[in-house]
Amino acid sequence: MTRVVIDFFPQGRLESCPLKILKSACESCGVTDERVLVVSDSDELLLQARDLNFYSCHVRQPNDRHPSFTTNYTVETVEEVEEVINAINGVSFNTVFKSRTTDFGGV
C-alpha cells in the first residue's frame, strides 16, 4: 500500500466493549454498517464485527492459531488488506489493465 489512512483508532481497552468500539467507529466515520471492514487480530472484535454483518478481515501470522469462528477474509500481512478492499469493491488487476490502452500481453 502506498498510503494508509486510519479513519478511527479506538481509545481505551479493547476488552471493555467491542460493540461500543465498532459503533463509535461507524459514527465517527459517518459510514453505514454494510460498508464497514474491520481489520484486526482480536477475536473479540472480529466476532462482534461478524455478528453485526460487517466485513471482517483477520490478520493472522503464519503460526498463530485459527479462531473458532469464520471471518470474510484472512491475511498474513497488513499489506494484503489492499487486496481485500479491492475484492470487496469488485476491482481486479485484469480490469485495471484492460482499462488502459497499453497492451500488457494478456495480463
The tens digit of pLDDT for each residue in 43-95 reads 888 998 888 888 999 998 888 887 788 889 999 988 888 889 888 888 766 55
Confidence tier at 104 by pLDDT (50, 70, 90): very low
Measured CA to CA, the distance from residue 40 to residue 60 in angstroms comes to: 9
What are the sequence ranges of the domains in the chain? Answer: 33-98
The whole-angstrom separation of Cα 51 and Cα 31 is 17
How far apart, in whole angstroms, are the C-alpha atoms of residue 8 and residue 4? 12
> Are the C-beta atoms of residues 74 and 58 closer than 8 Å to each other?
yes
pTM: 0.69
Q: Which residues pair with 38 in a beta bridge?
A: 56
Is residue 59 classed as helix, strand or coil in its secondary structure? strand
